A and B are shown apart, each in its own frame.
Chain A
């Protein structure tokens, strides 16, 4: 275990001031209202995508629509339908729209919300000013279609959205089968602003996604990563050879 950056032994213990269970979490993320997910730093879009999909898995069956500005789709990669269904654990048809301009993107988002034909709208956009976010929030609340906006790390300033989360990846959980391999994905989501739970603004949630139960678990934060299982010593196990 790497202890070089640990200053005191107390930092190793789970922090007690953070409740491991917060009632109401994730406060409607992916299920109602408009939630903005912003990158913690440049290149955190995969974590955002994962969190947006993981949070929306419990939606009623029906299609969702994925709207992304064209340039962003190339930069962040193409979402895979199979992975989307794996995150949702069910057949989940998804329409993809790639408008070129920001105005068209906002128009398409609003149109999708207002049509009430889709279960949820997920959109990747560069920016949205206060007026645009207000418009989308009103539409989403009137038609009851949840909207998740995936935005770059430059996203700052005021918004009319229900909440803004800042998401960054964390080193994944320990893989029980192979300590050298990545395990279940973990993300850190900071609730920057929230209209539903304003007293929790600035709260840090460390999340772990379980791909088997499709649940999004809060994990306790530790100063450093938990002890990794070490391979047993040679005397206890049979010698084995590489076969392939």
Chain B
């Protein structure tokens, strides 16, 4: 028996079959249960572990159907349309699944019906290990089941019982409006009608599968459970050939592959890889998995291998160039993508990047780093450089330096960067780069509303919850605790114009320094110096 801390002490949440025979049922308080059966063995309920185990079982059930969804905290829903004939029909499939699960030591009840609601009700109410309801029998088959099985809340069920409605069949004949009138709220009445309609198939109930169904898959049943890496590699080779042949016939390629190994003990081990562009070359797929296949733990043996292809896209077949020298293009996109895939497979997602030019005057925003997706950015019409020299390497964010300048608006004479003093021999500049005001919202009227006072004068946030802390602080300040000078803290975050200088020190090192702001520009403290990049 398992217990859980309820609002009034410990409550029984689950009881074994033996305990149930002694009239101990879930919902009973622990003290009552202990009074009924003094020799009770109780343990604490670990719901997180339960959820994990259910998730694991759901993963394993993918071998029966690709669409597996959770059904409450103790049930799983499988969409077996088109899958049952592979297992000898619905009844045969249910029998096999039941036998397999019982063998694993999992108590189970199986219901097969034409709607998720009906199947769920059958599995929970029926005393048989498995029940199959044919399509035209749904209405009559459900009639005798208790209303509890309709997946309603406990209060609703209690209310229905007070009306004397305990069987689903009793709800069929009742006028909907009459039924709705008896409930205190419309939502509850709606819920009853919705669940009833869903069970009878009058309203659609889409499943939310735990893993989206793959676009294509290939499976390999092992006659004997395998446990070696060599066997896994051989299995992967066959599956990759099989899957890629299928993809080729359909003119498709996939960017994501998932290799699942179903262990004989009812668990699954998975390895996934993704490619920068659609691929369907079995050798390439195999090579990408080469690093990951070690992560698959064979456990006590693997009896089914499954290779799934996701994110498929149309892919035209190209004749392979004879050699690099004879290739018409200078760039072999496929080879580059294959290289990027191999590095990504080893080092993790997003490890291969490229830098894309952006429309921005600010040097740190003029280029951004994006993941390499198999395509190069379109060669843009290069506009003539309207700006001064740009450094070869940029520091992002800029690093603070201690600088000493002769005149307020001149280049520094010397500066300290990374604890080394550098004397400047030659300098060029300034190049003024003004802040991009269109990225910043206007300053809010001071203290007009708590929501607006302390908003950073930056890109507005879309989520009001994110500002909760700021709003609370602003409220506190509005309520009389206004001590700091209005605005003194705020103007600090105002973006300031920068004056960039290209300087060279006596050793010949060339830097790109900027002064953040001007003296007496009314935007806070005296300006500070930063180093933003280095020249070759």
Distance in Å: Cβ of B138 to nearest Cβ of chain A? 58
Distance in Å: Cβ of A142 to nearest Cβ of chain B? 14
Most chain B CB within a 10 A radius of its CB, from A116, A117, A185: A117
Collect the chain A residues with CB atoms within 8 Å of residue B392's CB. 46, 49-50, 53, 79-80, 83, 87
Q: Is the CB of B510 within 8 A of A117?
A: no
A94 CB within 8 Å of chain B: yes
B473 CB within 8 Å of chain A: no
Distance in Å: Cβ of B273 to nearest Cβ of chain A? 15
Stretch at the interface among A21-29, A55-63, A190-198: A55-63
Q: Is the CB of B342 within 8 A of A209?
A: no
Contact partner, B355, options A62, A81, A87, A171, Cβ 8 Å: A81
Contact partner, B369, options A63, A96, A182, Cβ 8 Å: A96
Contact partner, B331, options A43, A47, A93, A172, Cβ 8 Å: A93
Given contacts A80-B367, A182-B428, contact A97 B347 (CB under 8 A): yes
The residue of chain B having its C-beta at the shortest distance from the C-beta of A172 within the complex is: B504
Given contacts A60-B330, A77-B533, A96-B369, contact A182 B338 (CB under 8 A): no
Collect the chain B residues with CB atoms within 8 Å of residue A45's CB. 393, 534
Interface of B is mostly: mixed
Given contacts A49-B536, A171-B504, A209-B536, contact A95 B352 (CB under 8 A): yes
B427 CB within 8 Å of chain A: yes
Q: Is the CB of A95 within 8 A of B372?
A: yes
B508 CB within 8 Å of chain A: yes
Q: Is the CB of A117 within 8 A of B335?
A: yes
Q: What's the Cα separation between A237 and B339 when bound, in Å?
A: 61
Given contacts A53-B536, A78-B393, A182-B502, contact A117 B355 (CB under 8 A): no
A115 CB within 8 Å of chain B: yes
A153 CB within 8 Å of chain B: no
B325-341 interface code vs A (CB 8 A; 1 in, 0 out): 00000111001101110
A129 CB within 8 Å of chain B: no
Collect the chain B residues with CB atoms within 8 Å of residue A168's CB. 508
Size of interface on B: residues with Cβ below 8 Å to A? 51
Q: What's the Cα separation between A62 and B508 when bound, in Å?
A: 33
Q: Is the CB of B379 within 8 A of A186?
A: no
Distance in Å: Cβ of B358 to nearest Cβ of chain A? 11
Q: What's the Cα separation between A125 and B242 when bound, in Å?
A: 42
Q: What's the Cα separation between A186 and B335 when bound, in Å?
A: 37
Q: Is the CB of B331 within 8 A of A169?
A: no
Q: Is the CB of B330 within 8 A of A61?
A: yes
Collect the chain A residues with CB atoms within 8 Å of residue B332's CB. 117
Q: Is the CB of A46 within 8 A of B536?
A: yes
Q: Is the CB of B343 within 8 A of A111?
A: yes
The residue of chain A having its C-beta at the shortest distance from the C-beta of B428 within the complex is: A181
A82 CB within 8 Å of chain B: yes
B457 CB within 8 Å of chain A: no
B255-277 interface code vs A (CB 8 A; 1 in, 0 out): 00000000000000000000000
B535 CB within 8 Å of chain A: yes
The residue of chain B having its C-beta at the shortest distance from the C-beta of A100 within the complex is: B347
A201 CB within 8 Å of chain B: no
The residue of chain B having its C-beta at the shortest distance from the C-beta of A81 within the complex is: B355
B503-536 interface code vs A (CB 8 A; 1 in, 0 out): 1101111100000000000000000000001111
**Considering the complex, which residues of chain A in the window 44-102 have a beta carbon less than 8 Å from any beta carbon of chain B?**
44-47, 49-51, 53-54, 60-63, 65, 76-83, 87, 91, 93-99
Contact partner, A78, options B343, B396, B418, Cβ 8 Å: B396
Given contacts A171-B504, A182-B504, contact A80 B351 (CB under 8 A): no
Given contacts A81-B357, A169-B507, contact A117 B330 (CB under 8 A): no
Q: What's the Cα separation between A116 and B332 when bound, in Å?
A: 9
B36 CB within 8 Å of chain A: no
A118 CB within 8 Å of chain B: yes
Query: Could you name 21 residue pairs across A and B whose Cβ atoms are closer than 8 Å?
Result: A46-B392, A49-B392, A50-B392, A77-B534, A78-B394, A79-B392, A79-B393, A80-B355, A80-B393, A80-B394, A81-B367, A82-B390, A83-B390, A94-B354, A96-B352, A107-B346, A116-B335, A171-B504, A172-B504, A186-B508, A187-B536
The 6 closest A-B pairs by CB, nearest first: A50-B536, A77-B393, A181-B428, A117-B335, A81-B355, A169-B508
Known: A94-B355, A171-B507, A172-B508. 4 other contacts (CB 8 A): A81-B355, A97-B353, A182-B427, A182-B428
